[in-house]
Structure 1
Amino acid sequence: MRVRELRRLVLLVIPLLLLLYTGFLCLDTQPPGSYYQVKNWIRGKLYSSYSVLELRPSASSDIDDDVNKSGGLFLPNPNETHVELFSLSTPDKKYFRLRFGDRLAINPNIIPHPLLENTWVMIAQQHDPLDATHIQFVELACDATFDESKSELHCLFPPIALPIAPTGLGNCKDELEYFNLNVGPHDARVFYGPRASFVVYGSNSHETCFGQWIQDFRVLMNWESGTEGQEQESFFKLGTELRRPGPYSATEKNWFVFWDVDGQMYAHHDVAPRRVFAKLNADGSAGPDLAPLAAEAGDKRCLDEYMPKPGPEDESIHQATNSLSVTMCRRYESDCRPSDANTFLFTIFQHKTFHRFHSVYEPYVMAFRRRLPFQVYGMSRKPLWIHGRERAGETRSQMFYVTSVSWKASGQKYHGYLDDVLFLGFGIEDQEAAGIDVLASDLLAGLGLCSEILRQ
């Protein structure tokens, strides 16, 4: 009896698989049954976005026209459509790989080592392409140096797993109920503040399904914690959930923290469809949303002018990196002194598109003022293009997604100048980690200034 039932099941399943295979052929010219194509669809719809709003495939029949109109994928010449970034360290000016020994890793971060010259700390999420469960998550870390012969930044010793504690069960329901099984941190962002280093990561939330947490990175690395006083940067010795002004989304991700000129800490929760940010307290709680004050000071008109416009389906704007402070002059110029008129905070956000089972992220810079109400100073007129990123045919490109930005020089933490060098960390196609070193002046080239819009 069981054999007969099994045969009937096979007769039903085989035609269904043939229909699915034919459907893939009609939808895309890439190998329809490839592992990474199916994986990218699943991650694009569920895991990467953490959004139940993206659980539907695109309904457009003229997908190429829609994508071209939205500015998402058609890239005839990066010099015309993007600000192209070239590496200062590699002979061919292309990006370099980040090697974590024999481990695969994605979503990378690079920060200067606090004690060693010409040494950096690399942190990234361990990646197992054969793991279909996506339940156990680990952040890897190691000391790294640059190998000029191979054009790669590689671990000096096997990477360790950061001892970030699990945060218990979440409050996930319906389509996201499987997130309750999550153990460990997602998509960590490691960065320096004005004095200390921190990690912000995603994990099960007490407030919603999936939230954002922060911890003093020095504790995880067993580095000396520095001052013992009660200043803000001695908080967060244990993992602390960050709160936000309501309402919450079911899944929150990629918040970044920033500091004003007086060292007060804030959390930036959303960049679109409107900015949301608030003062951050020692227990992770947040004050009221301060973004309406910035909107009144000119943010609304500026964002309406420069913010990329997502298409009607399967497109969105995402915060991407931590923040840094930059003075818009060169360090060794005699009249270059930081002030409110020339020093700003900046971060990178991304315009995400998901078409034809493939995601593309276009990064942009947003710079904003360092005092209340932190209104936007300027934004990239064109997205950034990392030299070495490849196209796949006429209308497709590799999925590069920027996850971190830091100053490259030893001892440099939160603040820098236009002639200082930055590290960008980014992932490629959810398969590998990479980085590029560029001048701050190159990253910030071509900003559209809000003052130009407000004068009109």
Structure 2
Amino acid sequence: MKIKIKLLSRAETVLSTLLALSLGLLYLLVQPRRLDSVTLELPLVEEYVRARDVHESQRPVVKHSAKFKSPLVLGAEYPLPEYTAFLNDAPDAKTLEEFDTFVSLKKRAVFEVKVASERYPMTYNPTIIALPPTSHYPFLIVSRVRGDSFEQHSLICEAKYGEQLNGDGNLEPVLQCATHARELVVPQTPAKDCKGKEFMSDVPGYHDPRVFWSARGAPMMIFNQQSRYGCFGLWMIDLRTVYPTLRYRVNRALLNQYSTVTELTRHEGRRYVEKNYLVFYDAETDAEYVQFELGHNTRHFARLVGNGLTTRNLTLSLEQSCIHLDATWHQATNAIKVVLCKYGECEPGPENTVYISFLHRKEGIKGSLKVQYFRYLAMWRTVAPFQMVGFSSKPIRFDNEDEWEQKFDVEGKFLYTVSMAWETNQNRYEGYLNENVIVSLGVGDHGNAAVVVPAVELMGGMHKCT
């Protein structure tokens, strides 16, 4: 009996030792390791800034007048001929007519966009993208709701072309929902400070949404909502998060970098109410940039480095926007990438691609509370430092725009330019001069409309920056 007790004690000792060793090994495995400190550098940004500083140090000082300033000369000839050769061609008189105060795109008629539901019969300011070829319907529309309170809502639907009878009994085209228009809900955010306008911090919902495709093919939406830095700011979200159907329309291996609402920061000159940002991408690296504003000798853009954080302003300090008219300017639409040739006639690359985007010049009507918005097209390069290369010489109007301005009896009749997109989605980020662009329009905050224009005609009224 004594021998058994002794053997049992030895077994317990061995087991206890093994258990202790196991616990010790487990502790070492799960113990957090202290990493060596490292210095993180933002890729390309520092290289870009160094190149910018070297260039500016070598540039001779040029005196500018107080009102008109020339753009920064970046070489022997600016802009490069590759970007502006097509601008030197005389516009086709059949499609473009130039008047004293505006450029008219003839035979490019505005047509109705119908988005409505039983709860929200009136919508306005539609933003449109074309869906990939594998989709059931060709378009996706997000449109704001016209309500009786301060609440902000938007409807989303997939859409297709159709026909309807007009007042004269003739058939006219219409872009209409092919799926049930339902409310698009995104997570809400609180406002940090509305500076005496506390009611703004309590306004529920988001507004002014813009939908667009990223350089890698992700469906994105940027919108206004209460800010964590001020009162209102700009936020982004991947539409696959709030409209899951899109998960089956794009590459499923594509990373969702904006799986929840992410606010876009701004280092310099931030206002407590921010509006009208647009996002674009470097053609060589797919790096993401946000342009905060573009106007009369004013431009401010920065690189997005993750989680909505941005660098300081990366605009060349001596670069001018080539917008010489001193007025109130607003960025209006998203930007799209254009290859400056017809499809199949050239190989797209940074040397022959540009971004275009609409701006609005806002002007009050004397003796009235009404305002008018005049649309202009801006064009800039697709690689750093993204210099401006072209701008509309005059405001752009469409063929039957006068009729649409009279369609709704509202204060401040205007067609507000909301978004632009390629009419067909070819699973590529850019389009060509001979391909169509669909431009969506808001009718006096009381209706939806759109117009389809070949890119070459849309850009025909532009002058190169000089």
For structure 2, the 5+ residue unaligned runs are 1-96, 164-170
Amino acid at match of 1:237: S
2:181 is the alignment partner of 1:155 = no
Match of 2:143 among 119, 124, 128: 124
Q: Secondary structure at the match of 2:416?
A: strand
Cα deviation for residue 413 of structure 1 reads 5.1
Cα deviation for residue 169 of structure 1 reads 3.4
Distance 1:281 1:140 in 2: 31
Q: Is the 8 A contact 2:229 2:272 kept in 1?
A: no
Aligned pairs for 1:97-176 (under 5 A) are 97-102=112-117, 103-114=121-132, 115-116=134-135, 119-128=138-147, 131=148, 133-134=149-150, 136-148=151-163, 149-174=171-196, 176=197
Amino acid at match of 1:441: V
2:275 is the alignment partner of 1:253 = yes
Cα deviation for residue 81 of structure 1 reads 2.5
Q: Secondary structure at the match of 1:183?
A: coil
Instruction: Report Cα offsets for 1:9-32 as digits up to 9, x if no partner.
Output: xxxxxxxxxxxxxxxxxxxxxxxx
Change (3 A) 1:236 1:118: closer
Partner of 1:380: 392
Q: Is the 8 A contact 2:412 2:444 kept in 1?
A: no
Aligned pairs for 1:274-423 (under 5 A) are 274-291=298-315, 293=316, 295-296=317-318, 299-300=319-320, 303=322, 306-310=323-327, 316-333=328-345, 336-355=346-365, 356-390=368-402, 398-412=413-427, 414-423=429-438
Amino acid at match of 1:318: H
Cα deviation for residue 86 of structure 1 reads 4.7
Q: Secondary structure at the match of 2:241?
A: helix
Change (3 A) 1:349 1:337: same
Distance 2:275 2:441 in 1: 16
Partner of 1:40: none
Q: Is the 8 A contact 2:268 2:312 kept in 1?
A: no
Q: Is the 8 A contact 2:230 2:272 kept in 1?
A: yes
Partner of 2:48: none
Distance 1:324 1:347 in 2: 7
Distance 1:285 1:255 in 2: 14
Q: Is the 8 A contact 2:415 2:442 kept in 1?
A: yes
Q: Is the 8 A contact 2:137 2:158 kept in 1?
A: no
Q: Secondary structure at the match of 2:201?
A: helix
Amino acid at match of 2:356: F
Structure 1 segments of 4 or more deviating over 4 A? Answer: 225-229
Amino acid at match of 2:218: A
Greater CA deviation, 183-192 or 233-242?
233-242
Aligned pairs for 1:86-97 (under 5 A) are 86=106, 93-97=108-112
Partner of 2:456: 441
Partner of 1:197: 219
Instruction: Report Cα offsets for 1:188-233 as digits up to 9, x if no partner.
Output: 000111211100000000011100000001222102175677x8x6
Amino acid at match of 1:390: D
Q: Secondary structure at the match of 1:224?
A: helix
Let me know the Cα RMSD of the aligned residues. 2.3
Partner of 1:53: none
Structure whose residues are more often helix by fraction? 1
Q: Secondary structure at the match of 2:350?
A: coil
Cα deviation for residue 389 of structure 1 reads 1.5
Distance 1:307 1:433 in 2: 32
Q: Secondary structure at the match of 1:151?
A: strand
Distance 1:397 1:430 in 2: 9
Q: Is the 8 A contact 2:371 2:412 kept in 1?
A: no
Distance 1:281 1:127 in 2: 36
Greater CA deviation, 98-107 or 158-167?
98-107
Partner of 2:236: 214
Q: Secondary structure at the match of 1:250?
A: coil
Give TM-score scaled by structure 1 length: 0.72
Q: Is the 8 A contact 1:390 1:397 kept in 2?
A: no
Change (3 A) 1:78 1:106: farther
Distance 2:98 2:339 in 1: 28
Change (3 A) 1:86 1:121: farther
Distance 2:264 2:207 in 1: 15
Q: Is the 8 A contact 1:407 1:422 kept in 2?
A: yes
Q: Secondary structure at the match of 1:158?
A: coil
Distance 2:457 2:427 in 1: 19
Partner of 2:286: 263
Greater CA deviation, 102-111 or 190-199?
102-111
Q: Is the 8 A contact 2:131 2:424 kept in 1?
A: no
